[in-house]
């Protein structure tokens, strides 16, 4: 009797777990393991046979200047989007902390880019960045500044892609900070107010530590998103001009789905996974020093 | 002191005003550009169109396949979302309310996949769909996307707020687990379900990279791919910017309107319930 009951219990657990677990295994876990396997081969997708080359793909990658450029671009892009998103997101949340007439509308506007399709808004930005007829250069000229080539020049293309990405994710960070600020216990402010603490000191000693879990969460999320950015790069620059906006992820796409060099492509994917894991571990260990739950 | 706070307030409002203009400007510019003639759009000194060219929208709606792509996206997103909600709710229920061996391991695995770059799975997933003859089909798109790890997190977080006693009481009354999930737990965590639904619907509707890899026939394009195709096609003869902008506006504006009505679910949802803590 008792055995029958436990069997039924295990059955119902499986029943609830399986509908999510099977797709999770088929489209997430298995592909990652399979990627590792493919990265040790010279498979080109078309031919049915392939050979084991073990670490040759990785060796070739580590000798390829393109890889180092892409790695560098990934670092620049990730930091270039992470820092402004967090700093400006917090600034906006501080400005909007006390609600006033029109603050709802401002929140609506600031958050709206996040929900719109990256492809559509990137197309709009392509038009804004147009060197001859675009509004971006018209505005620069209005202020007496020289126009830029924006996405047409390898000097400024990365900046242009970063601006679009920050524009899109700023509101998201702001919303997280708004709710974090709301949860800062009022007594803490009062306690520090009694000491006659200046507002800057209060911000540094009370607010920043209290919202540190949110900062940490946003750092991880923004980092993961930046490492995976594809849509805006594909529309704005296709990784160009001359590879100046080719991140690791974009390189993976080009190797895999343009050149059909599956071995090399999955090798890049493995490197990307390792970087994500490494950065997460670094952030998690580092967070013990400055994140206060 | 009073002057100082007054100044601070003005500064604050000015700063917010500047940020709002910067954020809203691309949308405004998109709509204005969509209403211009081809000559006007090339002349930067003309900020407003002399006459609104509604015809551009007419062109896009009736003489381009864009509406068809919108329908494809709505169709795929709705079905994907429905499956995602069921699978996520069930596994979240098991993770929170059922005790079984390997529960922690299971959660750790899910947590691990959450942070991994999705694109790293694309080559093998592509091969799987190719083997199953599901390339270039909506079925392939839907089944490869029928689990939302974000959704599992969100619902797990919400379910943990439901007191265990409520579940036990319902069990004693003889309710099945399936019934408890949908008739007891779901109503109690309604707001998380709504947030989940809106967020994932929009993510799916906006998705680009994966759909563009596995579908390429004209009738099967989702909205982002379709728009890009429309945009690139004009490229050979010089992009028809007013039409491209009208197409973009047609795709972006409904989302902005939807967002205007559902704003609170996003703001409370992502700010309040998600996140690890905080």
Query: B 117-156 residues with CB below 8 A of A?
Result: 117-125, 127-128, 143-147, 149, 152
The token pair that represents A122 in the structure block: 């990137």
Read off the pLDDT band of A121 (50, 70, 90). very high
Of these ranges, A205-209, B25-29, B111-115, the one predicted with the greatest mean pLDDT is B25-29
Put residue B238 in one of left, alpha, beta given phi > 0 → left and psi -120 to 50 → alpha.
left
What residues have CB less than 8 Å from B72, skipping those under 6 apart? B138, B219, B220, B221, B222, B223, B226
Burial of A21 (0-12, 13-18, 19+ CB in 10 A): buried
| Cα–Cα distance measured from residue B84 to residue B78, given in angstroms and rounded to the nearest whole number | 10
Q: Which domain holds residue B27?
A: 2-56
Burial of A185 (0-12, 13-18, 19+ CB in 10 A): exposed
Contacts of A32 in chain B (CB under 8 A): 116, 120-121, 124
The closest CB to that of A28, out of B30, B113, B263, belongs to B113
In a domain, B152, yes or no: yes
Residue B27 lies in a domain: yes
Inter-chain touch A12–B177, beta carbons under 8 Å: yes
Q: Which residues of A touch B266 (CB under 8 A)?
A: 111, 115, 175
- pLDDT of B274 > 50? The answer is no
Whether residues B22 and B108 fall in one domain: no
The verdict on a CB contact (< 8 Å) between B121 and A35 is: yes
pLDDT of B140 higher than 90: yes
Compute the distance between CA of residue B235 and CA of residue B246 in angstroms, rounded to an integer.
Answer: 16
Residue A43 is predicted with a pLDDT of: 83
Reading the block at residue A151, the tokens are 């996405």
Please give the residue of chain A at the shortest CA–CA distance from B199.
A115
For A103, phi then psi, to 5°, come to -70, -30
B 192-251 residues with CB below 8 A of A?
202, 205-206, 208-209, 213, 223-225, 227-228, 231, 241, 244-245, 248, 251
ipTM score for this prediction: 0.86
Residues B24, B101, single domain; the answer is: no
CATH number belonging to domain A55-290: 1.10.3720.10
| E strand or H helix that includes residue B183 | none
Do residue B78 and residue B187 come from a single domain? yes
Q: Is residue B85 part of a domain?
A: yes
Q: Where are the alpha helices (DSSP H) in A151-261?
A: 157-182, 186-194, 199-202, 208-210, 212-227, 231-236, 248-253
- State whether B163 and B40 are in the same domain: no
Q: Do B41 and B176 lie in a common domain?
A: no
Q: How many CB atoms lie within 10 A of CB A62?
A: 12
Mutate to test the interface with A, among B46, B70, B124 (most CBs of A within 10 A): B124
Longest Cα pair distance anywhere in chain A, in angstroms?
A: 86
How do residues A67-118 score in pLDDT, each as one tens digit? Answer: 999 999 999 999 999 999 999 999 999 998 888 888 888 999 999 999 999 9
Instruction: Look at chain B and count its residues.
Output: 278
Nearest Cα of chain B lies from the Cα of A213 at a distance, in angstroms, of 6
Which of B8, B16, B203 is the best substitution to test chain A (most A C-beta atoms within 10 A)?
B16
Crossing angle of helices B241-268 and A157-182, in 10° steps, is: 20
Output the pLDDT for position B51: 80
CB-CB: which of B41, B117, B123 is closest to A256?
B123
Residues of chain A in contact with residue B134, where contact means CB-CB under 8 angstroms, are: none
Residue B247 β-bridge partners: none
Answer yes or no: is B278 within a domain. Answer: no
Same structural domain, B227 and B162: yes
| The predicted structure's pLDDT at residue B276 | 38
Do A135 and B44 make contact, defined as CB atoms within 8 angstroms? yes
User: Which candidate from B98, B206, B266 shows the least CB-CB separation from A16?
Assistant: B98
Residue A178 above 70 pLDDT?
Answer: yes
Q: What would the pLDDT profile of A217-230 be if each residue is shown by its tens digit?
A: 889 889 988 999 99
| Banded model confidence at residue A194, pLDDT cuts 50, 70, 90 | low
The reported pLDDT for the residue numbered B271 is 61
pLDDT tens digits along B95-119: 999 888 888 899 988 888 887 888 8
Residues B151 and B269 in one domain: yes
For A228-262, the pLDDT digits (tens) are: 999 999 999 988 788 899 999 999 999 988 988 88
Lowest mean per-residue pLDDT among A84-88, A212-216, B47-51, B218-222: B47-51
Tell me the pLDDT band of B262, cut-offs 50, 70 and 90: confident
Q: pLDDT tens, A133-164?
A: 888 888 888 888 888 889 888 889 999 999 99
Distance from CA of A155 to the nearest CA of B (A): 23
CA of A102, closest CA in chain B: separation in Å?
Answer: 10
C-beta atoms of A249 and B117 within 8 A? yes
**A182: pLDDT confidence band, cut at 50, 70 and 90?**
confident
Q: Which residues of chain A are within 8 Å of residue B31 when distances are taken between CB atoms? A: none
The angle formed by the CA atoms of residues B126, A29 and A229, to the nearest 5 degrees, is 60
Please enumerate in sequence order all residues whose Cβ is within 8 A of that of A44, keeping only pairs 6 or more positions apart, or say none. A50, A260, A261, A262
How far apart are the C-alpha atoms of B164 and A170, rounded to whole Å? Answer: 38
A222, closest residue in chain B (CA to CA): B115
pLDDT in tens, A263-277: 899 999 999 999 988
Per-residue pLDDT, B237: 52
Which residues from B are below 8 Å from A185, CB to CB? none
Contact A133 B43 (CB under 8 A): yes
pLDDT confidence tier of residue B62, bands split at 50, 70 and 90: confident
For B132, the token pair is 């199953």
Of A19, A32, A116, the CB nearest to B87: A19
In contact, A251 and A67? CB cutoff 8 Å:
yes
B69, B35: one domain: no
pLDDT score recorded for residue B236: 47
B90 and B151 part of one domain: yes
Question: Taking CB atoms and an 8 Å cutoff, what residues of chain B touch A12?
Answer: 98, 177
CA atoms of B231 and A185, how far apart (whole Å): 51
Candidates B30, B42, B147; nearest CB to A23: B147
Instruction: Give CA–CA dist B190/A70, Å, rounded.
Output: 44
Q: Is residue B128 included in any domain, yes or no? A: yes
The domain segmentation of chain A, as residue ranges, is 55-290
Q: Residue A14 pLDDT > 90, yes or no?
A: no
Before B176, cis peptide (omega within 30)? no
- For the cut 60, the answer to whether the pLDDT of residue B278 exceeds it is no
Domains in chain B, number? 2
Give the residue from A46, A92, A94, A120 with the most B CB atoms within 10 Å of its CB, the best one to mutate. Answer: A120
Q: Sorting pLDDT into bands at 50, 70 and 90, what band is A191?
A: low
Does B93 reach chain A within 8 Å, measured CB to CB? yes
The angle that helices A118-129 and B241-268 make with each other, rounded to 10 degrees, is: 130
């Amino acid at each position: 009797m008792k055995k029958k009951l436990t069997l039924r219990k295990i059955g119902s657990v499986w029943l609830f777990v399986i509908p999510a677990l099977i797709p999770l295994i088929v489209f997430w876990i298995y592909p990652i393991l399979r990627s590792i396997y493919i990265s040790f081969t010279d498979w080109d997708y078309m031919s049915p046979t392939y050979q084991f080359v073990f670490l040759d793909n990785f060796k070739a990658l580590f000798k390829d200047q393109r890889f180092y450029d892409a790695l560098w671009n990934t670092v620049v892009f990730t930091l270039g989007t992470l820092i402004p998103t967090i700093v400006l997101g917090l600034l906006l949340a501080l400005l909007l902390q006390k609600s006033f007439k029109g603050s709802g509308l401002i929140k609506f506007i600031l958050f709206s880019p996040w929900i719109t399709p990256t492809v559509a808004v990137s197309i709009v930005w392509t038009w804004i960045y147009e060197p001859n007829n675009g509004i971006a250069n018209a505005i620069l000229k209005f202020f007496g500044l020289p126009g830029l080539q924006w996405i047409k020049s390898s000097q400024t293309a990365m900046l242009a892609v970063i601006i679009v990405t920050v524009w899109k994710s700023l509101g998201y960070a702001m919303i997280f900070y708004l709710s974090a600020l709301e949860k800062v216990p009022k007594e803490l402010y009062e306690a520090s107010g009694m000491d006659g603490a200046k507002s800057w000191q209060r911000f540094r000693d009370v607010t920043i530590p209290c919202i540190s879990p949110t900062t940490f969460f946003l750092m991880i999320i923004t980092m993961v998103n930046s490492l995976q950015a594809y849509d805006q790069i594909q529309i704005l620059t296709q990784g160009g001009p001359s590879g100046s906006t080719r991140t690791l992820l974009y390189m993976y796409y080009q190797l895999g789905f343009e050149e059909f060099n599956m071995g090399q492509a999955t090798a890049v994917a493995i490197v990307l996974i390792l970087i994500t894991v490494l950065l997460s571990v670094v952030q998690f260990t580092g967070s013990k020093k400055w994140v206060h739950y | 002191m009073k002057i100082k706070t007054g100044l601070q307030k003005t500064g604050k409002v000015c700063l917010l005003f500047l940020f709002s203009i910067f954020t809203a400007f691309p949308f405004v510019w998109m709509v204005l550009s969509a209403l211009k003639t081809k000559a006007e759009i090339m002349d930067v000194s003309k900020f407003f169109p002399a006459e609104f060219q509604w015809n551009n929208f007419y062109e896009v709606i009736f003489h381009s396949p864009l509406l068809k792509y919108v329908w494809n996206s709505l169709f795929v997103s709705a079905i994907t979302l429905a499956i995602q909600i069921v699978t996520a709710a069930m596994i979240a229920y098991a993770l929170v309310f059922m005790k079984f061996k390997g529960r922690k391991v299971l959660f750790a695995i899910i947590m691990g996949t959450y942070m991994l770059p999705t694109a790293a799975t694309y080559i093998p997933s592509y091969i799987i769909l190719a083997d199953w003859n599901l390339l270039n089909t909506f079925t392939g798109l839907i089944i490869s996307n029928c689990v939302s790890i974000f959704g599992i997190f969100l619902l797990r977080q919400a379910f943990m707020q439901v007191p265990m006693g409520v579940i036990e009481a319902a069990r004693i009354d003889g309710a099945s687990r399936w019934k408890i999930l949908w008739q007891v737990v779901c109503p109690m965590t309604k707001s998380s379900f709504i947030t989940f639904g809106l967020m994932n619907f929009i993510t799916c509707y906006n998705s680009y990279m994966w759909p563009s890899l596995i579908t390429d026939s004209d009738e099967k394009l989702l909205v982002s791919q379709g728009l890009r195709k429309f945009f690139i096609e004009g490229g050979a003869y010089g992009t028809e910017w007013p039409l491209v902008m009208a197409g973009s506006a047609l795709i972006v504006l409904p989302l902005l309107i939807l967002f205007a009505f559902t704003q609170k679910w996003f703001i409370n949802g992502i700010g309040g319930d998600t996140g690890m803590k905080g």
